[in-house]
Structure 1
Amino acid sequence: MAEGETRPRLLLRLVQEGRLDLLRDELGPDNMLSTEVQSRRYGRSGDTLLHHAARYGHQDVLAYLVEVLGMDIEVFNSDYKRPLHEAASMGHRECVSYLLEKGANVDCLKKADWTPLMMACTRQNLEVIKVLVEHGANPLLKNKDGWNCFHIASREGHPQVLRYLLDVSPGSWDTESTIKRTPLHTAAMHGCFDVVELLLERCQYKPDSRDKCGVTPFMDAIQNGHVNIARLLLEKHQEGHTHTIKTLLSLGADVHAKDGKSRSALHAACAGQQADAARILLHAGLQDAPDSTGTLAWQLARKPDVIQVFQETNIST
């Protein structure tokens, strides 16, 4: 024991470091401290040693605490988080499998109604997600904000997770939060281009679907400077963008926002061959300027009506 280190702190350190041999020695052959170990809570969250073993991914320590010391696999902390939540959120497949094989509730809820599957979807460890689903985890459950695991994976930008969820639960995309935001809204707002592309390809979101504040995925993309996503939405969702842009302007949105390649909303409108959108942006004072490759927005115009917009504003094409 290190100088000044109490026995509870020593036990915690050994569990976190995965030192099962030293943990056994400290507890003694008859496990005389098993009652203390079972009841001990650590920190403000009230975690047990079982939570820490799951969080750090030490499956052998986890098994020792459960099988030898008799700790309850459903023990929860002050946030109602179980060891399965910890293992799933940190991507420890062996610990997740062990807990499920020992009978852990696959859809147990922590504070705010998060399931282990939801927490696993905050990471890209597809193997953990598969283990949970194969043990009966329900992808359609929602947390208190109305998000299911598909929504969460859309925010995190994990297309491979989303493809798997669509395969095992084809209807998981068709969901809204409590404020009527779809996974498409979320992916567009967070700049997850690959996810937006996948959602437009495999899901049937309505063009310009609005949340409770009237915000569309296109608005989310423009307001957060993700012009490449705005362009993609213009190309795939041809309806209603004139009204959307007018709404953006009325809300004081920065129409001069550019993406990482210096492309503006005007580039997006021209790439999507949206004449009315281009006209509104030009009338709002947005100047055509070259992107990082030297390409002007008008050079992307192909349809006669889009070309006409620039001719009307005396921009030579």
Structure 2
Amino acid sequence: MAERQRPRRLLRLVQEGRLHLLRDELHPEDIPEARSRRWGRLGDTLLHHAARLGHRDVLEFLVRELGMDVEVANGDYKRPIHEAASMGHGECVSFLLEWGASVDCLKKGDWTPLMMACTRKNLEVIRSLVEHGANPLLRNKDGWNCFHIASREGHPEVLRYLLDVSPGIWDTESTTRRTPLHTAAMHGCSQVVELLLERCHYSPDSRDKCGVTPFMDAIQNGHLDIARMLLEKHQEGHGHTILTLLSLGADLQAQDGKSRSALHAAVAGQQAEATRILLRAGLRDTPDGSGTLAQQLARKPEVIQVFQESQVTT
């Protein structure tokens, strides 16, 4: 092997997880450079590559036999435990924690390994970090904690676990005052929204810095099943929300996959004021995919009266 090709060859063996060849080809004189060598724009070490790709045996070799530091950071202050957690490599995370890796170390943007782990569904990794003392309440530079991140990713099983170990974790806002409910509604995570409405206590009209509510996020992004859930859960207070939607030029004529409109959602939730505003805005009562008109869903007298008043007006 040409001298200048040796470092690249060692990197490839680490990336491929070929520990036996790595042992054979790593000469004693290569060890100091292997420990300190950096690759790529961010300056990743061999340890970063092994952790990112989930090669536990290679990781252990680099730490135990080469003496590499489990706390080594790249240009983004990312440590090997960030890499392993972000990719859901449980064995690598466990090994690094056993060797003293800081459980709440921060990378660029103030992301912890637990936050990185919550971008995936791997509950084993999340549980391991928490059991080793990770603080679920820490927030990154945008004000998001790990619960907020899991809400964006749509992982109800992760959220249930986080609520079990930290019951008040849901009560959080980003720096722009967006809650996990805003985020789940915007990204169409219906199972998460259902869980948040069931186990948390968000205000029905909580507004971010731009005045946007979770209901508005759902409507504006075409997630009418979520908008319907929000209307059914919160019986009052959406009249002003819809007026704001109208002022923003939102497409209230949008329909979901079953041809149900926002009017169907409002009436299904027995929202008299919401129904009145939608009808006054010109939203026509057209049949959904099953041939059902929104009016046919009206049960409360005040909602039935809204339709009667509308017919008189027209």
TM-score, scaled to structure 2 = 0.96
Equivalent position to 2:219, from 219, 222, 230: 222
Gaps of 5+ in 1: none
Please show how residues 69-148 of structure 1 align to structure 2 within 5 Å.
69-148=66-145
* C-alpha separation in 2, matches of 1:36 and 1:262: 63
Task: Output the aligned Cα RMSD.
Answer: 1.5
Query: What residue number does 2:310 align with?
Result: 313
1:47 and 2:44 equivalent? yes
1:154 and 2:137 equivalent? no
Query: What residue number does 1:180 align with?
Result: 177
* C-alpha separation in 2, matches of 1:261 and 1:129: 37
* C-alpha separation in 2, matches of 1:164 and 1:184: 17
Query: What residue number does 1:285 align with?
Result: 282
1:171 and 2:171 equivalent? no
1:13 and 2:39 equivalent? no
Equivalent position to 2:268, from 268, 271, 276: 271
Shift of 1:192: 0.6
Q: Which amino acid aligns with 2:69?
A: D
* C-alpha separation in 1, matches of 2:225 and 2:311: 26
Q: Which amino acid aligns with 1:49?
A: L
Give the conservation status (yes or no) of the 8 Å contact 1:234–1:274. Answer: yes
Shift of 1:44: 0.9
* C-alpha separation in 1, matches of 2:235 and 2:4: 66
Please show how residues 186-201 of structure 1 align to structure 2 within 5 Å.
186-201=183-198
Shift of 1:4: 12
Q: Which amino acid aligns with 1:238?
A: Q
Q: Which amino acid aligns with 2:278?
A: L
Give the conservation status (yes or no) of the 8 Å contact 1:208–1:239. Answer: no
Q: Percent identity?
A: 79
Matched residue of 1:38: which SS? helix
Matched residue of 1:170: which SS? coil
* C-alpha separation in 2, matches of 1:60 and 1:235: 52
Give the conservation status (yes or no) of the 8 Å contact 2:236–2:271. Answer: no
Q: Which amino acid aligns with 2:11?
A: L
Matched residue of 1:129: which SS? helix
CA 248–4 in structure 1, closer or farther in 2 if over 3 Å, else same? farther
Structure 1, 232-241 or 124-133: larger mean CA deviation: 232-241
Query: What residue number does 2:23 align with?
Result: 24
Structure 1, 40-49 or 146-155: larger mean CA deviation: 40-49
Query: What residue number does 1:294 align with?
Result: 291
Q: Which amino acid aligns with 2:47?
A: L
Q: Deviations over 1:174-230 (max 9, x none)?
A: 100001110011001111111011001101111111111111111111111111111
CA 313–81 in structure 1, closer or farther in 2 if over 3 Å, else same? same
Q: Which runs of 4+ in 1 moved over 4 A?
A: none
Gaps of 5+ in 2: none
Q: How many residues align?
A: 312
Give the conservation status (yes or no) of the 8 Å contact 2:185–2:223. Answer: yes
Q: Deviations over 1:283-316 (max 9, x none)?
A: 111111222222221121111221222222339x
Shift of 1:282: 1.1
Shift of 1:5: 8.6
* C-alpha separation in 1, matches of 2:261 and 2:276: 14
* C-alpha separation in 1, matches of 2:3 and 2:262: 62
Shift of 1:19: 0.1
Shift of 1:240: 1.2
